Amino acid sequence: MMRKIGIIGMGHVGSTVAHGLIAEGVADEYVFIDKNEKKVQADALDFEDAKTNLNNSFSVTVNDYQALGDADVIISAIGKIELQYDNVEHDRFIELPHNVEQVKEVSAKLKATDFSGVLVVITNPCDAIAAVYQAETGYPKEKVLGTGTLLDTARMHRAVGSAFNVDPRSVAGYNLGEHGNSQFTAWSTVSLQGQPITKLAAEKGVDLAAIEKDSVVGGYTVFDGKGYTSYGIATAAIRLAKTVVQDAKTEMPVSHKRPEFASYLSYPAIVGREGVVAYSQLDLTEEELANLQKSADSIQTQFEKVVAH
């Protein structure tokens, strides 16, 4: 069976996602969509030039929405990063009004295709935009997912790993809620070497609050250094896309619409070819539950402010 992935938006992030997918040989066919015809054609040619030095074969179609009809996954990487350049408060919602209009345009074109796969949303603000896509396309909510705190969780793992001098892949646990300022680290879920991280931190004098702050603002550090982020978010999107294509049924903290919340937000779920195939249930503390609700309210308020009015 041929595997096909579409990427809508071939800017810094979209092209990085494309490179990672192609380098790993995740799909056999790719569809690149971008309003900048010259740029997307150049990307396609650039990847053709890479074929001789790769171990896998693939084909690329450019700016053909109908070619997305039989895709397994479509990744939305549209956005306007320039809106963030003077954003001193580092608020991802500053892109929402612009991106909502773009999403409506893309959704109308997607609805004219036979696409029935999983839509993966990177576009910021990720949670609200995933909600807009789901509303505009009418796709099943289980099949519209945002990368959400899959990236923020990785940043937390990196910071914990650094503090305890271990590989970040040895760290378990999650950041939850919004992919944005109201997210939080659910420390009750975090462990290392079979021990609760709170116990290890107390024994070694590690400041968990500083680690949590690092996981929240780490993206801004990258952004301030190069004017955008790309590798971390691209790798998160690639992992999510691979999970879908391979029907891996992997638990990961992705942005999705849980039954108990009105908004999209990040919480662990089992992901496979049909999107979310099972909902996880964490044993959170009362404080963490309150933080999760606060994050959900923040997302929903901003969503309603721009979309419903």
Which candidate, 128, 129, 106, places its Cα nearest to that of 7? 106
Q: How many CA atoms lie within 13 A of 260 on its CB side?
A: 8
Distances (CA, A) of 160 to 155, 197, 215: 9, 9, 9
Which phi and psi (to 5°) does residue 230 adopt?
-150, -55
Secondary structure of residue 113 in the 3-state scheme: coil
Q: Which of 90, 179, 256, 309 is catalytic?
A: 179
Q: Which two tokens stand for residue 32?
A: 């690149």
In sequence order, the β-bridge partners of residue 5 are 30, 73
Q: How many CB atoms lie within 10 A of CB 277?
A: 13
Secondary structure of residue 131 in the 3-state scheme: helix
What is the CA angle 76-81-84, rounded to 5?
130
Secondary structure of residue 227 in the 3-state scheme: coil
Amino acid at 230: S
**179 catalytic residue (yes or no):** yes
Which candidate, 179, 94, 100, 97, places its Cα nearest to that of 136? 100
Among all residues, which ones are annotated catalytic? 179
